[in-house]
Amino acid sequence: ARGKSYLVKMIIRYLKWTGFECQVFNVGSFRRQVGLASADSNFFDNSNPNNHKIREHLAMMVQDSMYKWLHATNEEKRRVAVFDATNTTKERRYALAQRAESENVFLLFVESICDDQEVLKKNYELKLQNDDYKGMDIDTARRDFISRVKQYERVYETITD
């Protein structure tokens, strides 16, 4: 809830305006599509090896779709794919960079750092409207989402280069 998906939407809008064909590949949306909506914050705990493995597998499946789309022939337009995911660790970003290199694709990481509590509060409220929290008591949903954010913060490693 730091504004990554919002930034993606603005970047995509600009790139489309300049003539690029663009598509967003969002791991969270894919997770919900494959039946893992309403996953509670424990699903995002990196100390749980089974859930970590599932999340990594989902991310790799989305990457597969992304590279398939990128490599599909399109003579008319240049293509830009956005892998919209919480790539919190250097290990994950390294794996993404290795894959991009093997696919002969340029990769750019965009990091959104936000510590403005008012902005975060508004972003959290927006997140509570997605399918992960559909039908859930708002206070329970908020506590769960804050717990999910803390799971990410525990393992977060900033981009250094």
pLDDT in tens, 77-93: 789 999 988 888 888 88
Both tokens of 128, joined, read 């509570």
Q: Which residue has the tokens 């600009």?
A: 14
What pLDDT is stored for residue 97 in this prediction?
A: 93
Q: How far apart are CA 72 and CA 68, in angstroms?
A: 6
pLDDT in tens, 56-67: 899 999 999 999
What residue type is 102 in one-letter code?
A: S
CB atoms within 10 A of CB 49: 9
More confident residue, 105 or 157: 105
Residues 6 or more apart whose CB falls under 8 angstroms from that of 148 comprise 40, 41, 44
What pLDDT is stored for residue 161 in this prediction?
A: 66
Give the sign of the dihedral formed by CA 64, CA 66, CA 70, CA 72.
positive
Both tokens of 144, joined, read 């769960």
- Identify the CA nearest to 67 among candidates 15, 27, 105: 105
Mapped onto helix, strand or coil, the DSSP state of residue 80 is strand
Please, which residues bridge with residue 104 across strands?
Answer: none
- Identify the CA nearest to 4 among candidates 75, 84, 61, 79: 84
What pLDDT is stored for residue 1 in this prediction?
A: 65
pLDDT in tens, 114-160: 788 888 888 788 777 777 788 878 888 888 888 888 878 887 888 88
pLDDT in tens, 11-45: 999 999 999 999 999 888 898 888 877 777 778 87
The answer, as to whether pTM is greater than 0.85, is no
Q: How far apart are CA 88 and CA 62, in angstroms?
A: 17
